[in-house]
Amino acid sequence: METSNDLSAWWMPFTANRPFKESPRLFVSAAGVHYRTADGRDILDGTAGLWCVNAGHAQPRIVEAICDSARTLDFAPTFQMGHPSAFELAERLVEATGRKFSQVFYTNSGSEAVDTALKMALAYHRVRGEGTRTRLIGRERGYHGVGFGGISVGGMANNRKWFGSLLNGVDHMPHTHDPARAFTRGVPLHGAGIADELERIVALHDASTIAAVIVEPVAGSTGVLVPPAGYLQRLRDICTRHGILLIFDEVISGFGRLGTPFAMDYFGVEPDLMTVAKGITNGCVPMGAVFVKAAVHDAFMQGPSGAIEFFHGYTYSGHPLACAAALATLDTYDEVGAYANAASLAAVFEDALHALRGRRHVIDVRNVGLVGGVELAAREAQPGARGMEAFKRAFEHGILVRVTGDTLALSPPLVIERTQIEQLCRVLGEVLDTIE
């Protein structure tokens, strides 16, 4: 099994394929907050898979729901057709936002949710007779998946530079990270003024050309960048003032990661559109969604009644297995008290993470809810090398962390226990001592 030939046919995503296939890391099963490797070791899951398995692995209710659905209704088309669980789920999801949104549009991933939201924003202005609003504003160090829309508004050079000129008419706000505030616990109290850069961008292009602004409330994949207090509210105010739609990309922060249902609840700021994926099904079946405010949805509901209102959708939008998994996931989050557990352990997590201050190579620790970043000093002329070595060494020592550049990101299942959080951070500290 472990020869490079056996592994060669799968071109793996976001992976250094050659070294991986020389020395693979293979999972064969998972339960609770642990993975089991092909060589029989248990690995403590410090990343909820890939920021998605919020209720922990192999939750029986979710497993059963998926199996039942596969037996009963394996697939149903959703163009000009429907099936009950897709409607039931939409209602439950809307309810989960406290009815701040009135509709849900299904996709199969976060990337598709982002591209869907961007298209919705463009079309929204057009159906209202403001077709000049075609510009999209993202942010440096933003990650919005890998579709052409997402990489265009995203701000990660490596995800962009290979793929040509991308979408036209996109601009970027500066990111919110300030290294001078290293080791801030939780939300930084200062720095909200950086949001006013959006005013500058609006003044430059004129509001009449701008359709939407998209941000992750907490930037995850670029190393856990927590926004300063008041920053998101300022973005909200500027967007409202200029008739620009605000999109929160909650693919990571949605479904309890910060101890509240969504980051919009944590920060008390409501976007016009919200994208989700990952935790919507506890990571068990691919699914994403865009939550839509009534005013946006209703703008489309005009014209002849036989006309399709939005020319967009995926074969697997509202797939029965995904809907079944998502319904069971919402029940499971309630049953196991996942969000409340995340909220109550956030302070423990913060303490355990910040105890890494002073350990070898650590130049910053950032956290909010159950998401944290530990930034290491980069090696001379080798950005990312130390982070990658730490990630591999952590795996050898029985913990799964995520590496992004030289930042190690932690986002454990929300059902993790206090002692497991302490174990995660203790082992990580020991690992850092072993690397150069």
Binding site for ligand PLP (CB under 6 A): 109-111, 114, 143-145, 216, 220-221, 249, 251-252, 277
Q: Contact 148/166 with Cβ under 8 angstroms?
A: yes
> What is the smallest separation between the CB atom of 424 and ligand PLP, expressed in angstroms?
20
Strand partners, 42: 36
> What is the smallest separation between the CB atom of 351 and ligand PLP, expressed in angstroms?
26
Instruction: Count CA atoms within 13 Å of residue 156 on its CB side.
Output: 16
Q: Which residue has the tokens 């996709």?
A: 107
Q: Which is nearer to ligand PLP, 210 or 277 (CB)?
A: 277
Q: Positive or negative, the Cα torsion across 151, 410, 282, 258?
A: negative
Q: Which is nearer to ligand PLP, 124 or 143 (CB)?
A: 143
How many of the other CB atoms lie within 10 Å of CB of 122?
Answer: 18
How many Å from the N-terminal Cα to the C-terminal Cα in the chain?
A: 32
Q: What is the dihedral of CA 368, 140, 150, 271, to 10 degrees?
A: 50
Angle, vertex CA 212, rays to CA 261 and CA 301, nearest 5: 80
How many of the other CB atoms lie within 10 Å of CB of 8?
Answer: 11
Q: Which is nearer to ligand PLP, 251 or 432 (CB)?
A: 251
What distance in Å separates the CA atoms of residue 422 and residue 100, rounded to the nearest whole number? 36
Q: Contact 150/144 with Cβ under 8 angstroms?
A: yes
> What is the smallest separation between the CB atom of 132 and ligand PLP, expressed in angstroms?
28
Q: Which is nearer to ligand PLP, 110 or 405 (CB)?
A: 110
Q: Which is nearer to ligand PLP, 215 or 431 (CB)?
A: 215
Closest Cα to residue 135, out of 185, 208, 41?
208
Q: Which is nearer to ligand PLP, 286 or 420 (CB)?
A: 286
> What is the smallest separation between the CB atom of 436 and ligand PLP, expressed in angstroms?
30
Q: Which is nearer to ligand PLP, 51 or 124 (CB)?
A: 51
Q: Contact 32/338 with Cβ under 8 angstroms?
A: no
> What is the smallest separation between the CB atom of 409 and ligand PLP, expressed in angstroms?
10
> What is the smallest separation between the CB atom of 107 and ligand PLP, expressed in angstroms?
9
β-pairing verdict for 135-139 and 170-173: parallel
Structure tokens at 288: 């994403």
What distance in Å separates the CA atoms of residue 24 and residue 124, rounded to the nearest whole number? 47
Q: What is the dihedral of CA 55, 78, 145, 404, to 10 degrees?
A: 20
Q: Which residue is nearest to ligand PLP (CB)?
A: 110
Q: Which is nearer to ligand PLP, 211 or 277 (CB)?
A: 277
What distance in Å separates the CA atoms of residue 332 and residue 324, rounded to the nearest whole number? 12
The kind and range of the H/E element at 421 are: helix 418-434
Structure tokens at 410: 């932690």
> What is the smallest separation between the CB atom of 44 and ligand PLP, expressed in angstroms?
21
> What is the smallest separation between the CB atom of 51 and ligand PLP, expressed in angstroms?
6
Work out the burial of residue 433: count CB atoms within 10 Å of its CB; fewer than 13 is exposed, 13-18 middle, 19 or more buried. Answer: exposed
Q: Which is nearer to ligand PLP, 110 or 387 (CB)?
A: 110
> What is the smallest separation between the CB atom of 59 and ligand PLP, expressed in angstroms?
20
Q: Which residue has the tokens 């190690």?
A: 408
Strand partners, 172: 138
> What is the smallest separation between the CB atom of 235 and ligand PLP, expressed in angstroms?
16
Q: Which is nearer to ligand PLP, 219 or 244 (CB)?
A: 219
Q: Which is nearer to ligand PLP, 143 or 333 (CB)?
A: 143
> What is the smallest separation between the CB atom of 220 and ligand PLP, expressed in angstroms?
5
Q: Contact 296/273 with Cβ under 8 angstroms?
A: yes
